[in-house]
Every structure is written in structure tokens, then in C-alpha cells.
Amino acid sequence: MIYSGKYRVTSPFGRRVLNGKPDDHKGIDVVGITDKHVCAVVGGRVAASTIITDKSDRTWEWGNYVRVDGDDGRMYYYCHLSKRLVSVGRRVEAGRHIGIEGNTGYSFGSHCHFEVRENGVSIDPAPFLGIPNKAGIYGTDWRAEVQKKFGLSKDTMTYMDGYRYAADLYRKLGRK
């Protein structure tokens, strides 16, 4: 899970055309629909939480990004964030908020570029999200699930939306 709720895949992993040029997309681009908080897909240690602005460093294209070195030995990149919520050296568990999607670096709209590397080579990240490698809408609208499950009014939901960790609360209540 890369978002607590529903999200859209706008550009899958693999060959694509970007600005009229063929390109190998080494990640998958996702846009949060019900929440913009980006979650760690696996547990691990934060190895990078930074923004590179020097255009001689190719990683400037990622803008604000977080890299988690997963417990499984892979490296997980979350790029174009508007805000990073974790610092280097911190341990994170799967599902933990690590940033907020954004439009930093070489980006054409708010999203998160999610990339997985194994032995330094980018691999298809879709299986780590439990989805096919194609554009579409995925995830669960936990807010709607909670409202339905507990029969909560619109006013109650609006009140709960004001809670700082509402998305996490909805996910936890919806799964129980």
C-alpha cells in the first residue's frame, strides 16, 4: 500500500513516450485520490530524505525524495514529494507515512514516482503494491468504508476529517 486510500496509476513501469521522446520509465507514477500521504510499502531504514537541486546530479529530477532500504535488501524510492516526513536513519514500518505527494523536480503534476531497485537495477514496482502494471484506479476508500460500516453521519465524518491522522484511523477502523 503506497496510499491509505484510493489512488490512480498514471504511468506504469517500462517503455513510454514522454514529451514526444521514447523513455524507459524505471518506476510507477501514482496519484492519491482520497489521501495525499505517501506510505512506506515495506519496513526498513530511511537511507535518504533530501532534495537535490544541482542539475549536474541526475537525481535532481526526483525533487524531494525519500529512499527506504527495505528489510528485504531492496531500495524503495518515493519521489516528487511536496514534503518529507521522515529523516535519515529512522526505522519505518510498512504503512507509515513518509511524505506527501507533490510536484517537485522534473514533474508535470502532483504525484509520487515510486521505484524499486534490486542490486542497483530498477525492477517492476507494481507487484510490491499488489496491483497490475497498468494505468487505473486501485486501493480502498477507507473513509467511505468506515462511514458505511459504523453508520456515521456526514457531520460526524466532516468532524473526523479534521483529525490529523484521519486517514490512518479510517484504514485501521475499516480493516477491523
Per the model's pLDDT, the better-predicted residue between 64 and 142 turns out to be 64
Q: With bands split at pLDDT 50, 70 and 90, how would you rate the model's confidence at 35?
A: confident
Mean pLDDT of the chain: 92
Instruction: Name the 3-class secondary structure at 96.
Output: coil
Q: Are 114 and 27 in contact (CB under 8 A)?
A: yes
158's enclosing H/E stretch is helix 154-161
The mean pLDDT of 144-167, rounded to a whole number, is 88
Tell me the whole-structure pTM to 2 decimals: 0.85
Pick from 38, 61, 41: nearest CA to 51: 61
Tens digit of each residue's pLDDT (9 = 90 or more) over 88-128: 999 999 988 999 999 999 998 999 999 999 999 999 999 99
Q: Are 5 and 170 in contact (CB under 8 A)?
A: yes
171's enclosing H/E stretch is helix 166-175
Tens digit of each residue's pLDDT (9 = 90 or more) over 37-69: 999 999 999 999 999 888 898 889 999 999 999
Q: Which residues pair with 46 in a beta bridge?
A: 68
Per the model's pLDDT, the better-predicted residue between 109 and 23 turns out to be 109
